[in-house]
Structure formats: structure tokens, C-alpha cells
Amino acid sequence: MKTFKKVLALALATVMSAAVLTGCGSSADNRMIIRIGHNQSTNHPTHIALVAFEEFIESKLGDKYNVEVFPSELLGSQNEMVQLTQTGAINFCVASNSLLETFSTNYTLFNLPYLFASAEAYHASMDDESITGPIFESTKDAGFEAVTWLDAGTRNFYTVNTPIETPADLKGLKIRVQQSPTNVQMMNLLGGSATPMGFGDVYTALQSKIIDGAENNELALTDNGHGDVCKYYSYDMHQMIPDILIGNIAFLDGLSEEERAIFEEGFDLVNEVQREEWTDAVAEAKDRAANEQGVQFLYPDTKPFQEACAPMHEDMLAQYPDLQPIYDAIQAYNEQYPSTES
Ligand code: GCU
């Protein structure tokens, strides 16, 4: 399956690069094809939201654009899709904020463990353009720009057979993390052994015992089958990392003012639909994981985890002092919407 996907991705990438080089990204009817890639299944909130975007753009500009959404890593891994978006071989993709810190260090901020005190503080921060603006625009020179954010819930540890109640339980365990320096540093501070890899490789790595566990939101258990292998999911709540819809800068800059306004409406729609779908999707995933996959949900005291990661905040601010005002603005939301955990 994986090899098939890789071959398909390579074939598509080749076709698309040729299309870009010859300037013909258009369909038989002469409409321009807009390609959007992501790594989730077709029942995931992100896919549902992108299909709503496709319908919206085609209802407004259907004589000119044909929008195509490619789910499930069909265009490659997230890293590969970001590179395809950079070069303009595809127009948009969804990337985890984690990966983007290797393209612009400003993105490091949203990857910090325990940055947001609550989901409300997270949402309010991400909806505040004075917070996201300097980060979202920081990759323009790299060829892409963030056009909206998507909810990816809270990341928690889950393992094949070790209940994680305290950071000490992670000792000696190989845990898959996303391919980002911040995530590797976090795992090391918590005492586990960080094993970075792409999302599409995690299931097989769990099944073949190359890793002992991973960390993600609840949808990974059901949508990606991780709950078939991992039986303990522990709410240590270490990160709320948004997904980001990024667009090729040359494509975006090439839109007329009227078209850009319609696309902006479309980006808002993606955010709105995805977030509307998210809460129910998490509740459903949790229910299915508990009742059909036999996953046990654990609720450890999060403080020891938080204390182990605390030095990362100071480290990051010392390394990137320009991020201090944005960090402070997030702290103000944390005060307004504090944690409800006792
Ligand atoms: C979440 C997130 C994805 C990301 C994945 C991962 O599912 O929504 O964008 O790729 O985590 O852990 O890699």
C-alpha cells in the first residue's frame, strides 16, 4: 500500500512539475486545476472542510477553476507536499504547524508544549491576527503563505502496552514524534526516546514494534487505526498544535483582487466547517476507540509533564526574542481562559 502510494505520488509529482514547467495546469475544458493535498482520510473534518471549499470556489469561479482535493497522502507525505506547494507543483496543502518550524523558526512558538492553558485560549489566540499574522506571513520568501488554520485538538501519549501515568513511565520507550526539533526536545525532556517519522509510517512502525507508542489527538486511534495496536491513551495534554493550510505564493499573488476576496471567503469557510466538525469527530473517535478497539483512557496529573517541559519556554524566547510580544499576547488569553483542571 505504502509503495503503491509512493509510486502514485511520484507519478503525480512528475506530471505536476511538467505541468508547471509548461505552464499548463489546466483541465481538458481549459479551466485551471487547483490541487490541494492533505494526509487525512475522507471522513476527517479537514477533508470535509476542503470539499466545502472546492464547492464554494467552483460555485463562484467554476468557469475558471477546477478544484481537486487529494486526501490520504496521495500527493506524498506532509513534508513532500509542503515542498510541492513551495515550488508551485500543487497550489495548497495542509501541514502540521510542527513541520513548518523547519521552514520558518517563527512557527516554533505554536509547537511549544503547554503553550495554551485551555482550548478556549488556544482558539482565541489562533483567531487573533496580531498573533498569527507575523507567523503566517513569515514563509513568503520560502514560496508559500499560511491562509488559515485548522483544529487538530490536543496531543497526548498512547502506547501499545504501557499505561503512561507520569513522565517516568516514558523512560526507555521509543515514541514516534513529528519531524521537528521542538518535538524531539520535548520527548527527550520527558524521558522517552524520540523517534521522528512521517505520519503515514506510524501504523506499521507500531505494529512491527519498531516503536512503543506515539502521540496525537484521538482521531489517530480510529481514522488511522492506531487504536487497533495501542491500548492506553493518556491525557497528559502536552500540545495543541494547529494544522495550517498553506498556499503557493505565486498562485495567490496572481489572483485578481476580486478573485482573492472570494478565495479569502473560501479560507474562512474551511476554518469554520473544520472546527464545526471537529468536536463531534473527537467525541465519536473516543467512543469508537473505547467500545470497538478496547482502548483505555487515562487521566494523569499533567503537572509533572508540564514541569519537565517548562525550560523550553525560556529557551525558545532566549533564542527568538522577536517572538516575545506574541508569546505575551498568548499569556493574556491564558489568563482570560485559564485551565479548568483542578
Ligand atoms: C495530526 C495532524 C496532522 C499530522 C499528524 C502527525 O493528525 O492533524 O497534520 O500530520 O497529527 O502526527 O503527523
Distance 178 CA to ligand 1 centre (A): 8
Q: Say whether 224 sits in a helix, a strand or coil.
A: coil
Alpha helices, DSSP H only, in 292-340? Answer: 303-309, 311-319, 324-336
Give residue 216 CA to ligand 1 midpoint distance, Å. Answer: 7
Cα of 96 from ligand 1 centre, angstroms: 6
Q: At 7, is the pLDDT very low, low, confident or very high (cuts 50, 70, 90)? A: very low
Please tell me the distance between residue 254's alpha carbon and the centre of ligand 1 in angstroms: 30
Q: What angle do CA 234, 316, 134 make, to 5 degrees?
A: 100
28 band by pLDDT with thresholds 50, 70 and 90: confident
Q: Where does 71-192 show beta strands of DSSP type E?
A: 92-96, 144-150, 155-159, 174-177
Cα 61 to ligand 1 centre (Å): 31
**Global pTM?**
0.94
Ligand 1 atom with least separation from CA of 152: 8
Beta bridge partners of 92: 36, 247
Task: Answer yes or no: is the C-beta of 178 below 6 A from any ligand 1 atom.
Answer: yes
Q: What is the pLDDT of residues 179-231, one digit of tens each?
A: 999 999 999 999 999 999 999 999 999 999 999 999 999 999 999 999 999 99
- Closest by CA to 23, choosing from 246, 254, 259, 247, is 254
If one residue of 97, 183, 187, 199 were mutated to test the ligand 1 pocket, choosing by the most ligand atoms within 8 A of its CB, it would be 199
Pocket probe mutation, ligand 1, options 202, 216, 221, 230, max atoms within 8 Å of Cβ: 216
- Is pLDDT at 239 greater than 70 in this prediction? yes
Which of 264, 219, 261 is closest to 245 using CA atoms?
264
Bridge partners for 35 per DSSP: 68
| Positions of E strands within 83-200 | 92-96, 144-150, 155-159, 174-177, 193-196
- Parallel/antiparallel/unpaired status of strands 232-239 and 296-298: parallel
Q: What does the pLDDT look like over 168-191, one tens digit per residue?
A: 999 999 999 999 999 999 999 999
Which H or E run includes 1?
A: none
Query: What is the C-alpha radius of gyration for the chain, rounded to an integer number of angstroms?
Result: 20
Which of 5-19, 108-122, 132-146 bottoms out in mean pLDDT, i.e. has the lowest?
A: 5-19
Pairing of strands 92-96, 243-248: antiparallel
Q: Give CA–CA dist 74/9, Å, rounded.
A: 6
Ligand 1 within 6 A of CB of 240: no
Report how far residue 188's alpha carbon sits from residue 142's, in angstroms, rounded to the nearest whole number.
30
Question: Contacts from 127-131 at CB under 8 Å and sequence distance 24+?
Answer: 128/329, 128/333, 130/329, 131/326, 131/329, 131/330
